[in-house]
Amino acid sequence: MIIYNVTVNIEESIQIDWLNWMKTVHIPDVMATGYFLENKIAKVLSIQEGETGHTYAIQYTCNSMEDLEEYQEKCAAPLQEEHGKRYQGKFVAFRTLLEVV
């Protein structure tokens, strides 16, 4: 099993809108691609010195690296672009791949 983890730090001023949009639009759109088995969204509780905003980890689980690579090739760009346009300049994100052992 592979976990595709997206960590996002979002500005305080739009955090409620962003979280609602993620839960009602973005995550359902990602799941509708059919590549992922489940998802979780978690608020990061540890805060680094000088950090502002709110940080969340969104985790999508899939069966294999092949599934993830196909998702990235066929579906990821427009979904990421939609998020980027909606919250341009108000977030920072990075992605991590994890293998369940």
Is 26:82 a contact under the CB 8 Å cutoff?
Answer: yes
- Provide the 3-class DSSP secondary structure of residue 8: strand
Closest CA to 96 of 3, 22, 8, 1: 3
Is pTM beyond 0.75? Reply is yes
pLDDT in tens, 38-94: 999 999 998 878 778 999 999 999 999 999 999 999 999 999 999 999 999 999 999
pLDDT in tens, 44-54: 998 878 778 99
What is the SS3 assignment for 53? coil
> What is the 3-state secondary structure of 21-43?
HHHHHHHHHHHHCCCCCEEEEEE
Residue-range domains of the chain with CATH: 2-99 (3.30.70.100)
